Homo-oligomer: A and B are copies of this chain.
Amino acid sequence: MTRKVHVHLVTPVVTKGIRDMNEIAPFARPDLIFSQSELDIGPPSIECEFDEALAVPDTIAKAIAAEQAGADAVIIDCMGDPGLHPVREALHIPVLGPGETTMHWAAMLGHRFSIVTVLESVKPMLTSMTRRYGVDSKFASCRVVDVPVLELVERFAEVQQRLAEQARAAVLEDDAHAIILGCTGFIGCASTIDAFLKADGITVPVLDPIPVTVCMAEAMVRAGLSHSRRTYPTPRPKANIGFAMPTGWPAP
Whether, in the assembled complex, A18 has its beta carbon less than 8 Å from a beta carbon of chain B, the answer is no
B229 touches A203 (CB 8 A): yes
Whether, in the assembled complex, A111 has its beta carbon less than 8 Å from a beta carbon of chain B, the answer is yes
A90 touches B50 (CB 8 A): yes
Q: How far is the CB of A86 from chain B (nearest CB, A)?
A: 4
- Copy number in the complex reads 6
Q: Which residue of B lies closest to A225 (CB)?
A: B205
Whether, in the assembled complex, A65 has its beta carbon less than 8 Å from a beta carbon of chain B, the answer is no
Q: How far is the CB of A1 from chain B (nearest CB, A)?
A: 9
How many angstroms between the C-alpha atoms of A124 and B229 in the bound complex?
Answer: 10
Beyond A85-B128, A178-B231, list 19 extra A-B contacts (CB 8 Å): A42-B242, A43-B241, A49-B85, A51-B238, A56-B56, A105-B223, A108-B133, A110-B228, A110-B232, A111-B124, A111-B127, A124-B232, A124-B233, A131-B137, A132-B132, A205-B227, A215-B218, A215-B222, A216-B219
